[in-house]
Amino acid sequence: MMKKDFFAQTVHGAIDKAIEDKKLGNLEINNFTPICEIPKNTQFGDFAINVSSLARDAKMAPPLIAQNIANYIEYKGFSVNTVAGFINFKLEEDMLCDITRDILDKKESYCASDVGKGEKVNLEYVSANPTGPFHIGHGRWAALGSSLANIMNYCNYNVYQEFYINDAGNQINKLARSLELRVKEQKGEKVEWEEDLYPGEYLIDCAKRYIESGSSESYGDFAKKDMLRLQKELLKTFRVNFDCFFSELSLYKNDEVEKCVKELEDKGKLYKKDGAVWFRSSEYTDTQDRVLKKADGSNTYLTADIAYHKNKLDRGFERLINIWGADHHGYIARIKASIDALGYDSSCLEVLLGQLVNIIQNGEQMRMGKRKKMVTLDELVEEVGVDATRFWMLMRSIDTTIDFDIDLAKSQSDKNPVFYVQYAHARACSILRKAVEKRLDTENKKELEPLFSQDEIDKIDKNIDIKGLFDEEKGKESIEATRALILKLEESIAIVEAAARLRAPYLLCKYSQELATAFHHFYNYSRVLTDDKKVSSQRLALTKCFKIILGKILNLLGVSAPEKM
RNA sequence: GCGUCCGUAGCUCAGUCGGAUAGAGCGUUGGUCUCCGAAGCCAGAGGUCAUGGGUUCGACUCCCAUCGGACGCACCA
C-alpha cells in the first residue's frame, strides 16, 4: 500500500476511536475522508493530513482537533507532530528500509496498481486520413495514446489500441486524382492541377512507385495502401503499437452503416428535410440535428462514425476512450447522442480533447495541418529523435497548446529535459558498472581489484538492510538526500496511479525529472563506491532501486533508458 | 453571438483535494571536479497567480462578470 493511503487510513481509524471517547466535541459520525499530501515544506514531515475541515461539525479549534486525533494514533515506524490543523508524519528508518526492500523485491512491478480492475477499454487515437504523411499534431496523439496505453495496462486496465482509417470519404477521390496527375507528370505529360487536391511532394514518390510496380490497381487503392504503409512504418519507429487498424470502408462493405441507419430509423430518431435524412441529435445534448444522408444520397462522415462506435460497443468494450484534437470538440455531443439513441449509455465514451500543436520555425508560427509548408512528423523525428520528440509531446497537460519550436529543439537538444532524466539513468548504470570494474589507484598507479563481483551485485536484493545509511556520522546532507530519494521512489506508486486514472502521462514526465533530481542530490552528498564495502552495498541498493523505478517510468512513457550516453 | 481550452517569474510550464513561506526547467548572476559521468550540484536575483466581485475560518484552486489568446460552431473529413 502506498504511504499516502496508509496514513489516511490511520487517521480515519484514530478519528473513529476519538469520537467513541467523545474527544471531538460535537462530532458523532466519521464521514471524513482524510487526504494525505506531501508537505511543500519538508520541515513539517514527509506526509501531512489536514483535519481543519472537521472544525465546523466538531465545534472545536483545528489545533485541538489535530492533537486529539493524534493521541489515538499508534506510532509504529513513524513519528507524528501536529501544527495548526495539520497532523504531520515522519517516517523512521525501519519504514524507509522497508521501501527499499519492497522495490528490490517487486522490481519493475513496484509502482503498478489495480485502479483499472481489469476494465476492458478501447483506446482510439491518431486515426489519420490515409492521404499523406503525419504532421506534428499527429505526433502528439501518437505519443499520448501509446503512453497512456502503457500506463493503463500497467495499472490493470485491459487496453486495446485502435487506429480508425478514414478510407471511405471524398478525400480518397481527391487523393486518387492527385496521384493520377503525379503519374502523368512522371510520364512527361503536362497536367493542370485543380483546386483542393493534395499537392504535397510525397505523392511524387508514390507516383514513381506506382509506375515502377506496374500496378493495375486503381490510383485510389494504390495511394491509400502506400500512405498507410508509410504511416505504419513511422508509428513503429515512434514506438506506437496498435492492436488494430480499423477500416471505415469495411463498415460499408459489411453493411454496418446501412444497418445502423435502419436501426435509428426504426427507433424513430430520423426524419427527412430538404431531401436529406436528419438525425434528431438535439433530443439529446447536441445543439442541433445532424444530417446522416445528404441530398445526393451519400452518407456524411458522422454516419459511418456512428456505426463505428456501435461496432466498438458490440465488441464488448466497457469503456471507449477517443483522443481527439480540440478542433473536434463540437463533434462529441453528436456522437454521444447517437450512442444513447441506439440504446447504449454514452457515459462509457470518454473523449480526451487535446489542444493543438503550433509549429514555430524561424520565429514564425505556422498552423499545423495546412498542406503547404507542413512540417511532417518524419522530419521532426529525424531532426530531434524519437525520445526527445515523445518527451516533448508528453510533458505538458493536454489542456495546453504546445508551441513546438523546431529551431530550439534542434539547437538546444541537449538542454531538453529528457536528456537530464536519461543522464541520471546512465549515471546510475555507470556506478553499477564501475562497482565490478578494476580501479586505478592514482597515487601508486597500481590496478586494484574490483570492489564487488557481479555475483555480489546481483545478490543485493530484498534482504539488504540499509539502516546504516542513517547513522549520524554519515552527515546531515547525506542522510537527508537518502531519505528524500527513498520517499521520492515511493511516490511513484501514487504518481503512476494518478497518471492512469486521470489519463495524464505528463505527470510521469514531471515525476521523472523530480526523481532524477533526487538521485543527483543523493549522488552529490553520498559517495556510493567507497572502501567501506557495507556502506557501498547499501548505497548500491538504492542506486539499483532508482534504476528500476526510473527505467520503468521511462518505459511507460515510451522513452529509452540508456545505460550509457 | 454560442461552446471548449488557456491566462501563474524575462521565456516555457507545474501547482491532483480549497489549506502551512507560490514551484520547476530554460535564461541570468556567483560558487563548485586530484575522487563513482560537471549533460551534474549549491546559492542569489526574478511574482499584484489577467482584472473586478462573490462563497469560505481560509481561494492560484470553487461561482459570476469583464478583458486578452487558441480552437470550433458544414448536406467537409
Q: Rounded to whole angstroms, how far apart are CA atoms A271 and A280?
A: 8
CA A290 to C1' B74, in angstroms, rounded, equals 10
Q: Reading across the β-sheet that carries A402-405, which strands appear in turn?
A: A364-366, A357-361, A402-405
Q: What pLDDT sits at residue A261?
A: 97
**Through-space separation of residue A357 CA and nucleotide B69 C1' in angstroms:** 15
Closest nucleotide to A396: CA versus each C1': B13
Which nucleotide shows the minimum CA-to-C1' distance to residue A292? B75
- The answer to whether residue A373 scores a pLDDT higher than 60 is no
A3 CA – B16 C1', rounded, Å: 16
Over pLDDT 70: what percentage of chain A?
96
| Strand locations in A191-279 (E) | 244-247, 270-273, 276-279
- A121 Cβ contact list (under 8 Å, min separation 6): A152, A157, A158, A159, A160, A317, A318, A319, A320, A321
Give the CA-to-C1' distance from A243 to B6 in angstroms.
Answer: 34
DSSP strands (E only) in A195-289: 244-247, 270-273, 276-279
Interatomic CA–C1' length for residue A101 and nucleotide B44, angstroms: 40
How far is Cα A134 from Cα A230, in angstroms, rounded to an integer?
A: 9
What is the C-alpha to C-alpha distance for residues A512 and A391, in angstroms, rounded to an integer? 11
Task: Please name the fold of domain A3-91.
Answer: Gyrase A; domain 2 (3.30.1360)
pLDDT digits (tens, 9 = 90+) for A93-113: 999 999 999 999 999 999 999
Q: If you average pLDDT over every residue of chain A, what do you get?
A: 91
A132 DSSP assignment: S
Query: Whole-angstrom Cα distance, residue A526 to residue A482?
Result: 8
CA separation for the pair A358, A326 (Å, rounded): 13
Measured in whole angstroms, the distance separating CA A355 from the mean position of its chain's CA atoms is: 15
Q: Mind listing the pLDDT tens digit for each residue in A214-263? A: 999 999 999 999 999 999 999 999 999 999 999 999 999 999 999 999 99
Q: Where are the domains of chain A?
A: 3-91, 416-557
Q: How far is the CA of A496 from the C1' of B25 (A)?
A: 22
User: Quick one: pLDDT at residue A33?
Assistant: 86
Q: Which residue is nearest to nucleotide B71 (CA to C1')?
A: A327
CB A25 within 8 A of CB A59: yes
Chain B positions with a protein C-beta closer than 7 Å: 2-6, 12-17, 19-27, 34-42, 57-58, 69-77
3-state secondary structure of A13: helix
Q: Nearest protein residue to B6's C1' (by CA)?
A: A400
Q: How far apart are CA A95 and CA A90, in angstroms?
A: 10
User: pLDDT tens digits, residue range A532-549?
Assistant: 999 999 999 999 999 999
- The closest nt to A539, taking CA to C1', is B36
Confidence of residue A372 (pLDDT cuts 50, 70, 90): very low
CA of A172: nucleotide with nearest C1' = B77
Model confidence at A367: pLDDT above 60: no
Distance A565 CA to B54 C1' (A): 56
Give the model confidence (pLDDT) of A134-191 as tens digits.
988 899 999 999 999 999 999 999 999 999 999 998 899 999 999 999 999 999 999 9
pLDDT tens readout for residues A412-468: 566 788 999 999 999 999 999 999 988 777 666 677 888 999 999 999 999 999 999
- Phi, psi for residue A124 in degrees, rounded to 5: -105, 130
Quick check: ipTM above 0.90? Answer: yes
CATH number for the domain formed by residue range(s) A416-557: 1.10.730.10
Rounded CA Rg of chain A: 29
| Backbone dihedral angles phi then psi of residue A484, each to the nearest 5 degrees | -60, -40
Task: Give the nucleotide nearest to A302 (CA→C1').
Answer: B77
Exposed/middle/buried for residue A414 (C-beta within 10 Å: 0-12, 13-18, 19+): exposed
- Estimate in Å the CA A524 to C1' B31 gap, whole number: 15
* A366 phi/psi in degrees, rounded to 5: -115, 140
User: Which uninterrupted H or E stretch holds A542?
Assistant: helix A533-557
pLDDT of residue A383: 84
Instruction: Please state, in angstroms and rounded to a whole number, the distance separating the CA atoms of residues A92 and A123.
Output: 43
* Protein residue nearest nucleotide B19, by CA to C1': A50
The band of A370, judged by pLDDT with boundaries at 50, 70 and 90, is very low
Nucleotide B14: nearest residue by CA–C1'? A510
CB A297 within 8 A of CB A277: no
The set of cell numbers assigned to A132 is: 499523406
pLDDT in tens, A268-287: 999 999 999 999 999 998 98
Query: Which pLDDT band, with edges at 50, 70 and 90, does A368 fall under?
Result: very low
Q: How far is the CA of A402 from the C1' of B5 (A)?
A: 12
A43: nearest nucleotide, CA–C1' criterion: B20
CA/C1' separation A52–B58 (Å): 10
Name the nt closest to A54 by C-alpha to C1': B57
pLDDT tens-digit readout, A24-66: 888 888 888 898 999 888 888 999 999 988 887 888 888 889 9
> In 3-state terms, what secondary structure has residue A513?
helix
**Pick the residue with more confidence: A412 or A205?**
A205
Indicate the pLDDT class of residue A123, thresholds 50, 70 and 90: very high
Q: Name the closest residue (CA) to the C1' of nucleotide B69.
A: A401
Q: A445 CB contacts (<8 Å, ≥6 apart)?
A: none
> Is the pLDDT score of A118 beyond 90?
yes
* pLDDT band with cut points at 50, 70 and 90 for residue A308: very high
DSSP characters over A369-436: T-STTPPBHHHHHHHH-HHHHHHHHHSS-TTS-EEEEHHHHHHTGGGSHHHHHHHHHHHHHHHHHHTT
Q: Cell triple for residue A226?
A: 502506400
